[in-house]
A and B are shown apart, each in its own frame.
Chain A
Amino acid sequence: MALKFPNKKFSFGGQLGGSVVLVALLVVSLVTVVLYTREGDDGMLHGLQDTTSAVTSPLSTIGVTTGSLAATATTSVEDLTASDASLSQLRENNAQLAQMVVELEEYRQEAQRLEAQLGLADAYGFSYVASRVVGYSADSYNRVLTIDVGSNAGVKAGLPVMGTTGVVGQVIATTPLTSQVRLINDAQSGVSVMLQSSRAEGILTGSVDGILYLENVDENVEVKEGEAVITSGLGGGYFRGLVIGTVARIETNQSDGTRTIVITPNATLSNISEVLVVIGMNNDGAASENGANATALINAVNPQTLNSGSAQNQQNQDQAAEQNNADSSEGNSDESSQDDE
């Protein structure tokens, strides 16, 4: 093969060294891609990626912490600059106060988030492992978090992960000290769910744009806006009865009659700092056969209710927790009577 220019001929090949290196590296890369796509999630190359993520998590933590502080600082500085012009002689004091405000604001926000998470755990009555987010996805094609708990803390792949106000994703891989969590709005994510009132089942999928869609719902089922969407527990992983969100809108395609159901998640899926990995749940949560219990729980884990932190909210959560305990003890007694029989 040769390139021909007027009065010039350039040969393909050149010295052997460069060609051999290029071809060899291309072959190694291609073989690696093929091996990676063919091996399972527990494969060696996937394990290598997870280990790299664990090793780099201390560095990622610097970024996450800095980002969080910067966001808080921006708000505080904006607030302070209004009075700064007229009080120029106090600028030095203001700078010190601004630093304190940033730190206090950070603690306040963290306390608020943790309070909401505790409310969520109380309402569901699940057992959990609390953790911090130490890294965000370093590529554009996956919405994956790295958290600072791993198999040493009892975390394993498939377990659901809750944010401040609801389900945020699922553990996809673990190392002894860290875990990878794929968010529910990732295009590769799929959760088996059902509609709370009609019990119609479907698959909740994420998308490239981060929007949640409910698919595979029977065409004959009537779906209403505002209806709660809860995990069905089918396929393992997600425990039955966790509230994912509500039906935001239903778009019907005029040409073929198919419908697209868009879901608003209860959880905030951006700027996540702390999460709970659910490791056990001994009741049916919002999927309880008792409609009153299910409704009470759905109200208790509503994002607005969780964030308000009011006494009424505490009562709702206590009520939901009591009803869940009653459900679980009923279930246990049923199981023991079945064992007796």
Chain B
Amino acid sequence: MRTQLIPLIGAAIAVVLQIIVAPLITFFSVVPGFIVSYVIVLGILRGGNSMYWYAFVLGMIADLLSQTPLGLTPFLLLIAVFVLSRVFEVLDQTTPAMPLIACVVTLLVFEVLFAVGLLIAGYEGGISLIVSRALPATLINAIICVIYYFLMRRLPFERESSSAWTISQTQRFR
């Protein structure tokens, strides 16, 4: 029960931070993504089928709070969580290095694909949307991910195994 409640409380805190704090701490006009960072870190630490629901619901909330196309954030977060949970079945998670590198790479790909999605949806801005938004957003969200990671790794998350595409637990790749 406790291991299921903690991620829910964390999600609620991330949503409140996104509403109250995020608009006040812009960096080069980039608003930090507390919700996106939370889902990515949770995906690394927890994994499992329930993460798809976290990615979907929190992604929808993130889109509802903003003016971006509804559904784009959950779509990209679902893919990110799926890839992360598969990757961390074979990658080393005993030291912070690999999870943090994975966070940064995931954020970069997420932000770039998000900007591309907006351009496809008809947003103006061209390449500067990627250079002036996606790259600074990756940087600021990576800092949030680091903070989240060091706070959340102390909490008792029960790492679940996802059944969408299971790689057998093996020590071979560790």
Contact = CB atoms under 8 A, between A and B. Distances in A.
A10 B167 CA distance: 6
Interface stretch (B16-24, B99-107, B146-154): B16-24
A29 B59 contact: yes
B128 A207 contact: yes
Nearest to A31: B71
B173 to A, nearest CB: 8
Contacts of B164: 14, 18-19, 21-22
Given A26-B79, A33-B69, A67 B24 contact: yes
A89 to B, nearest CB: 36
Interface residues of A, number: 56
Interface string B138-174: 0000000000000000000000001111111010100
B70 A208 contact: no
A238 interface: no
A33 B117 contact: yes
A154 interface: no
A53 B163 contact: no
Interface residues of B, number: 58
B63 to A, nearest CB: 7
A30 B56 CA distance: 11
A16 to B, nearest CB: 8
A184 to B, nearest CB: 13
A35 B75 CA distance: 14
Contact of A14 (B53, B79, B125, B163): B163
A272 to B, nearest CB: 12
Interface of A: 3, 5, 8, 10, 12-19, 21-22, 25-26, 28-33, 35-37, 45, 48-49, 52-53, 56, 59-60, 62-64, 66-67, 135-144, 180, 187-188, 205, 207-210
26 contacts: A8-B168, A14-B165, A18-B164, A21-B53, A22-B164, A26-B79, A29-B74, A29-B75, A32-B60, A32-B71, A48-B64, A52-B64, A63-B20, A63-B23, A135-B23, A137-B31, A137-B66, A138-B22, A138-B62, A139-B62, A141-B115, A141-B133, A142-B67, A142-B68, A187-B129, A210-B29
